[in-house]
Amino acid sequence: MANIERVYDQIRREERAALQRRVDEAYRREPELAALADQRRTVFLDAAAGRLAPDAAGERLRALDGRERDLLRRAGLAPDALQLHYRCAACRDTGYLGDGVRRPCACRLLLGARLDPAIGVNERETFEAFDVAVYPTERQKKEALAARKHCEAYAAALPRPPMPNLLLMGMTGLGKSYLGNAIAYRALGRGVEALRATAYGFVQDTLDGIRGENRALPRYRSIPLLVLDDLGTEPLIPNVTVESLFAVVNERAARGLATVMATNLAFAALQDRYGERLFSRLTDGTTTRILRLTGDSLRRGTPAC
């Protein structure tokens, strides 16, 4: 994504400029620091040319480092004032990890979610922001806390939880969508790629893919974590909806890929809507953990949690 690359370029430019300002200030306060930098370069050149033995070069560099620390301390500056600072130490502001086959850093995945609405993950509905006080009864609070605990454990086991599927069930406004987003956001923060979509959006992408107008459809089958929200609200299009959902859920389960699904439908309604074949996949006890939320809707005057 071009926008992400521009952001990282800007971050690196800003940090290089900040380093130059720190260097200028340090040299202004302690001019000897500039001389030390010149001496350090001379040591490197002499060692590379063979004019200085490795042991002697190492000893000389250690002495220069010690003197630099003393001068920085005397000037009231931080020990790393003359070093480039990174906003993400893991990837050094490149957005990627690894020397050979690179993989996205967590900071890049989170930035991507902020910049690309199509990823469907927001930074508001998180485990950290989970507020049990919005639940109206002690029983519902206890149930919500238990659900959060299970969802956090699932997120902690990503990308390969013991059971790849998690099915969140319950009436509207009980926090299923919130928990699905919280799992996806935690996944991104751990460096696991995630996609969150509604079942309606999935069916629309399927139709666009059939027309050759959407190349994003393969991501549903391959992304490490898929959160499929509002299952049961999508249009039932003959030879498309049920077949496409079965193909994605079945293939992901076979590959052990993590899939979180949320639905307002009860078991009987799920079976009636999708038929035995897909229903058995959605509720298979060998691949799916089912969490059922009950109680009063939080949308009655209170934002859902």
- pLDDT for 218 equals 87
Give me the pLDDT at residue 305, please: 41
- Give me the DSSP letters along 282-298: HT-TTTEEEEEE-SS-T
pLDDT digits (tens, 9 = 90+) for 123-178: 999 999 999 999 999 999 999 999 999 999 999 999 999 999 999 999 999 999 99
- Read off the pLDDT of residues 225-254 as tens digits, 9 standing for 90 and up: 999 999 999 999 999 999 999 999 999 999
State yes or no: pLDDT of 2 exceeds 90.
no
Closest CA to 305 of 118, 114, 128, 150: 128
209 — pLDDT class (breaks 50, 70, 90): confident
CA distance 228 to 257: 13
Q: Which of 125, 106, 87 is nearest to 8 (CA)?
A: 87
- How far is Cα 139 from Cα 296, in angstroms, rounded to an integer? 11
Written as six digits, the tokens of 287 are 């691949």
Buried b (16+ CB within 10 A) or exposed e, 108-139: bbbbbbeeeeebbbeeebbbeebeeeebeeee
Asked whether 231 and 199 are in contact (CB, 8 A), the reply is yes
Q: Which helix (H) or strand (E) holds 225?
A: strand 225-231
Give the model's pLDDT for residue 1: 59
User: Residues of 243-280 as b/e, b for ≥16 C-beta within 10 angstroms?
Assistant: ebbbebbeebbeeebbbbbbbbbeeeebbebbeeebbe
Model-level pTM greater than 0.75? yes
Are 150 and 249 in contact, with CB atoms under 8 Å apart?
Answer: no
Q: E strand or H helix at 194, and its extent? A: strand 194-198
Task: State which amino acid sits at residue 56.
Answer: A
Q: Which residues, including other chains, have CB under 8 Å from residue 47's CB and lie 6 or more apart?
A: 54, 57
